[in-house]
Amino acid sequence: MSFLQQVNTPWKMQFYMFLKLPAAWFMGVRVKSCTTEVCEVKLPYGWRSQNPFRSTYFAAQCAAAEMSTGLMALAHIQGETPVSMLVTHIEAEFHKKADSTLVFTCKDGALLKEVIQKAIETREGQTFRATSVGTLPDGQIASKVYVLWSFKVKK
């Protein structure tokens, strides 16, 4: 079974998150859909992800956004030369109160692939600033999260 098939199989992804990303699992982060081009991750609004101001906690939003960018990168490094990946910086803009379920969407898959290929070809570390947009059910943008990824061929 391919990596993306596993990511898009809810029970397999939930089991993986329970073991490896328990905070994301606890907050209810779920993969809505993921391809090598676009990834959507759902973050429910509820007591496990909210702050005292009755909105979704910024760290929960950053976790869901990071997952929407990182899953595509992982899909691109499967079966290739071993490549390490690491978040080196994260920024966020909050535009609207997040008081309902959010969907974080990253559409940077093609660009991620290029950067990873460059890291493999040149054997030099590369960075990429991925963008994930968190939208409310009515389509309004609640937040934008920018995740700076570093890719380096393992020795």
Over residues 106-129, the pLDDT tens digits come to 999 999 999 999 999 999 999 999
* Strand, coil or helix: 129: strand
pLDDT grade, residue 155 (50/70/90)? Answer: confident
Over residues 126-141, the pLDDT tens digits come to 999 999 999 999 999 9
Mean pLDDT (the chain, rounded): 95
Question: What domain count does the chain have?
Answer: 1
Q: What is the pLDDT of residue 147?
A: 98
- The answer to whether residue 50 scores a pLDDT higher than 60 is yes
Q: Identify the H or E element spanning 150.
A: strand 141-153
For residues 23 and 49, give the distance between their C-alpha atoms in angstroms, rounded to a whole number.
10
For residues 65 and 57, give the distance between their C-alpha atoms in angstroms, rounded to a whole number.
13
Q: What is the pLDDT of residue 80?
A: 67
Q: What is the pLDDT of residue 79?
A: 77
- Looking up residue 118, the CATH number of its domain turns out to be 3.10.129.10
Enclosing domain of residue 133: 3-153
